[in-house]
Structure formats: structure tokens, C-alpha cells
Amino acid sequence: MLKYILSKLFGSQNERYLKSLNPIIEEINSYEEEFSKLTDEQLKQKTFEFKEHLANGETLDDILPEAFACVREASKRTIKLRHFDVQLIGGIVLHQGKIAEMKTGEGKTLVATLAAYLNALEGKGVHIVTVNDYLAKRDRFWMGPIYEFLGLTVGYVQHDMEPDERRKMYACDITYVTNNELGFDYLRDNMVLRKEDKVLRGLNYAIVDEVDSILIDEARTPLIISGSAEESTEKYYIANRIVPRLRIKKITEEEETEAKYKGIDIKKGYDAIVDEKNHTVELTDEGIKKCEHLLGIKNLYDDLTSDWVHIISQSIRAHYLFHRDVHYVVKDAEVVIIDEFTGRLMPGRRWSDGLHQSIEAKENLPIKEENQTLATITFQNLFRMYKKLAGMTGTAITSAEEFWGVYKLDVVVIPTNKPMIRIDHSDVIYRTEKEKWAAIVADIEQRYRKGQPVLVGTRSIEKNEFLSSLLRRKGIPHQVLNAKHHEREAQIIAQAGKLKTVTVATNMAGRGVDIILGGKPDPENAPHLICKDPNCNVEFMHNKEYHDVVKLGGLYVLGTERHEARRIDDQLRGRSGRQGDPGESRFYVSLEDELMRLFGGVRMSDIMLKLGMKEG
């Protein structure tokens, strides 16, 4: 009840705030006709005028309406996109140092140009932070013409750039960069001996795209610059040979609680206990004795041999809690981590405390030495150093309390330009995974036969490839998108809205690229596919096929299981129903799914069996 009252109160507060911006929006709109009559040179001259106003003591707030109108006109002339009123609201929210929650397809990338241009006029630099190199480069060249037309410089940072090139990019008025590159550049700058060797010029104003991913999901992820430490790697191979000889039991929280209630010693007869939910490992007394025997030592906890406890525990975690094609892939004889939240590979990142070495031993790969930390920082601490911070995402309201508590950032829900008409169906729950997968394949086949495009979200590469094999057996053509095929991501997603297209993707599909019904228009290579019907009232460029897909109900998003973070599910749903398009979504769940199993699914499954419930 309290949550309901608070949500109603929050909603009305959000509405009051949006209402207070109406006079500013009206002022911006009042300049549109006047600015449309200016020549290119006259419009470009506005930037110098704004800088003069600031030099004469005016504030950014004073020049905001005219500056936003200027950006809108420049955008129309350069990239043929006009900012909607709701996008102007988003721009004001970003300028005021808040988080703008905007639904997928509402043009967050274009919104950022408003606040970025305005704040860049101070000459102190603006960083637009994205989640990967592809988006940083794409957005720089997509939005760059707006800034350049108005006389500002634009840069972007990529993983393989040298320090001199990075320095040049950060010296631009506006720089597109990933959170990882920004963090490591900050750490390296703090290690240089000469000031002129630094690449950054200060942390002034940042607009963080996908802000929930960077400031919440990865907030406490440490960025580490390390140097090699002298330590024998042979112990990890030895521990890897010992683990298969131990009797190990995986338990859930439910099993542990039940054992305590019934007075059962859950450790009896086992050498180690693995807690799946908390990701912990505990060696039992029997396990300690067995390890001492197998290692040929008297005391596992002796000062000279105590590191064995840690190494064996990490090896058990590597075998029982970290799985290939779920948590990591093996690529070019290296263990590469998969980001749990984005589904992308993170080359160069390593798990700490010997875990990465234990996984390398498990996979029979060359073991790299444990490193010693030379410099480290978390994203949370990095972004709190900015003088002004703002963010955009499609799913922030669920973390509003955390954003305020940690960063003092308010979340403002921006209304959609057109009403959202996507249909979100209730979850379908099955007792076993086998039943669930059968139902999923049947649903996909039905949608495919009628021609409706389907986007399927899976939690791991393993499940992604498993579903792909089931669809192949059924003869259903489909595209597979996961961290192993990330090179084709933009191409696959661009066509995911075409008729009779089935796309099976990991979390990668949840962010960054819009799915346009009927496929992404290509005026240069496929102009004959673009809709040129004079009676068509769709505001954005689209293919003729768009109208057929709309009749079929739009893009159907199918989730194959729930994620612990609700935002990840919301992001997947958000791929459908963009800019007033129709769409549908549904999640399939089984009591054997990891999330359900950890939170009591086994007991529920037993109850269903006792009640005589049949398969399906």
C-alpha cells in the first residue's frame, strides 16, 4: 500500500516538474520560424554570439532556449532530423544534471546533442559516455555533423588509439567515449610523471548513455591497471587435478534453511559445500583432511601452505560456478569474460584473486601470472568526480532511489512522442525446462509461419546456441546474435524487424540499436524498397514492408527466462513498440530456470507433481 502511495506521489511530482518546463519549450519553439529563415552562415554565427553572452556574465540557463533552437535547426539541415518537443524536455533534463528515462526508439542519441552543445559552449569539454566502441564511433559520425556545422570540434576514443591521438580527441569540445576507455585513461593519467603526458583535460560534464548499466550494474566493478607479480602458476594446475577427486555438494538457500530446520548436517559425507546463490565455497573437515593427504602436507592452514585453501576454493568455484559460454568464452587460447548485463565480451578484463588462473587451468590453457594492482578505481568513484553529471536510459525508474542515494541524481520520466501501444503478455510458467523449450519453439514457429518478426532473448551463449539447434531441427530459418558473432551485430539487428525474420540473441540485443519494422531503410543501396506512398503519414523513413509488419502486430519479443535485474528484461521488451509502433512481448519461465531454482522453484515443482499436474 505504501509503495502504491509513493508511486502515485512520485508520478505527480514528475508531472509537476514536466509542467514547469512548458514555458521553456514554448520559448524554444518560438525561435523555430525565425531560425529557419537564417542562412547557414548566420546560423553558424550563433555559436560565437552565445560564447560572447557567456563571457559577458550570462548563464547557460539564460541562453538555453535560443541554443536548443539553434541545435534543432542545425540538425534539420545536416542529418535531416528534427527534435520533438519531448526530446527538448529530455535535453533540459540532461542539462540540469538529472537522468532522463526515455523509452526505446524515442531518440536518446539525438537528445544528447542539445545538452552537449549548450555545455560545450563553456569550452571545458563534454564527454558523452557509451557502453562500447562501436556506439562511440557510430554516434560521433552520426551526430557529429550537427556540432561541426555549428563550429564545434567532435572526437571519439577507441580501444586501439595511441596516447597522442587520445589527447587530441579529449581536447575536442565534445568527445564520445566508452566508460572503460575513460576509466583507464584516468588511471594512466594518474601514473604519468609529466603533466604534458596526460590525455584528459579534466572531468567537467558527462552525459552517460545507458546510465543504469554503467552507474548501477557496473558501479562497483573495479578498473585495474596491474603489473606482473612473481608467483608460481603450477599450484593452479595441481588444484585443478585435485577438485575432481573431491565430493562436492551444491546447495541452494532453500536446502540450507530446510536442513537447519530439520537438524540435518548438510556437510556430512562431503568434502566441500558450494552455495550457488552467494557464490561461496566452504571446505569441510573431511575435505581439509583429504586435501592434506592429496597434497602430501601436514597442515593446510600452516603459514607456509595456507594459500592452498584459497587456491583449491577458487578451483572449486571455477568448476562449479563458472561455466563456458555462460560466464566466459575461450578465444585464441584465452579465457574472455562475458559481461552478465550486456552479453558482450570483455577482452583484457580478468577475474581477480586467482579465479581467472583457476579457470585457465580448468580449460587446460596457459596460465598467466597473477598481477599486482598498480592503480584502481570503480565507475562509481570515477563519475562522482565530474562537476556535472547526467544520464539517459530506457529503464531508470526502478533504480531511482539508488541513483539519488549514491549520485544525488534525480530520475525524470520523459513522456513518449506517441502513445505506447505494445502488448505485454503475462508470463507463461512451466514445471520443467523441457516443456518450456517445446512451448517456445512452437510459439516461434507459429509466428514465423504467419510472417511476424520475432526477437528471442536468451541469458547466455549456451542457451542461445541450444535454442538455435532446436529451431534448426524444426527447419525454421533464423539469425544468431551473441558475443561470438558480435561483429555482425548492427547488421543483424538492423534487419530483425523484417517479415519472417527470427533473431535469437543474448542480452546484446537489449541496447544501442533500434529495430525498425520492415528492416532498416537503405537509400543508397536499396532505394526501391523505401515507402514513397504520398498518402503515408508515418513520420520517419521506412521500407514498404513496414506496413505489412504493422498489420501482423509488429515485432514480437520473446524472453526465454527472467533475469535477476528487472531492467534487463525491460530493455529486451523495449526493443518492440518504438515510436508508437505496435508490438508484443512475452516471457517464458520454468521452475528449473536458474533464478527460480535459487529462490524456491524446486519446492514448487514438487508441490505441482504431488497435485498431479501433467506436462505442459
Please report which residue ranges of 161-248 form alpha helices under DSSP H.
Answer: 163-170, 179-189, 211-212, 234-242
Task: Examine the pLDDT at 316 and tell me if it is beyond 70.
Answer: yes
- CA separation (Å) from 284 to 297, 322, 546? 17, 21, 62
The tens digit of pLDDT for each residue in 413-424 reads 999 888 888 999
Q: Which of 477, 482, 481 is nearest to 502 (CA)?
A: 477
Strands 174-178 and 126-130, how do they pair? parallel
CB contact burial 325-361 (16+ within 10 A = b; e otherwise): bbbbbeeeebbbbbbbbbbbbeeeebbeebbbbbbbb
91 near 110, Cβ under 8 Å? no
254-300 pLDDT, tens per residue?
A: 677 777 777 777 788 899 989 887 888 999 999 999 999 998 888 88
The answer to which of 74-78, 156-160, 195-199, 337-341 has the lowest mean pLDDT is: 337-341
Residue 357 · residue 370 · CB < 8 Å: yes
- What is the reported pLDDT for 114? 98
In this predicted structure, what is the pLDDT of residue 609? 55
Mean pLDDT check: name the lowest of 125-134, 334-343, 424-433, 596-605: 596-605
Measured CA to CA, the distance from residue 83 to residue 108 in angstroms comes to 10
Candidate ranges 109-118, 208-217, 509-518; pick with highest mean pLDDT = 109-118
What are the tens digits of pLDDT across the range 39-58?
999 999 999 999 999 999 99
Q: What gap in Å lies between CA 398 and CA 98, rounded to an integer?
A: 15
pLDDT of residue 557: 94
Q: Where in the chain is the domain with CATH 3.90.1440.10?
A: 234-369
pTM reported for the whole predicted model: 0.78
CA distance 586 to 70: 42
CA pair distance 205, 184, nearest whole angstrom = 18
Q: Is the pLDDT of residue 614 over 70?
A: no
Supply the CATH classification number for the domain 234-369. Answer: 3.90.1440.10
pLDDT of residue 605: 53
Across the strands, what pairs with 156?
Answer: 176
**CATH 3.40.50.300 domain extents, the chain:** 2-226+379-413, 423-610
**In the 3-class helix/strand/coil scheme, how is 505-543 assigned residue by residue?**
ECHHHHCCCCCCCCCCCCCCCCHHHECCCCCCCCCCCCE
End-to-end CA separation in angstroms for the chain: 35
Identity of the residue numbered 340: E
Predicted pLDDT of residue 290: 92
As a whole number, mean pLDDT of residues 91-116 equals 93
Domain 2-226+379-413 CATH class label? alpha beta
CATH of domain 423-610: 3.40.50.300
- What SS3 state is found at 459? coil
- Report the relative pairing of strands 280-283 and 272-275 from DSSP bridges: antiparallel
- Least confident window among 163-172, 213-222, 348-357: 213-222
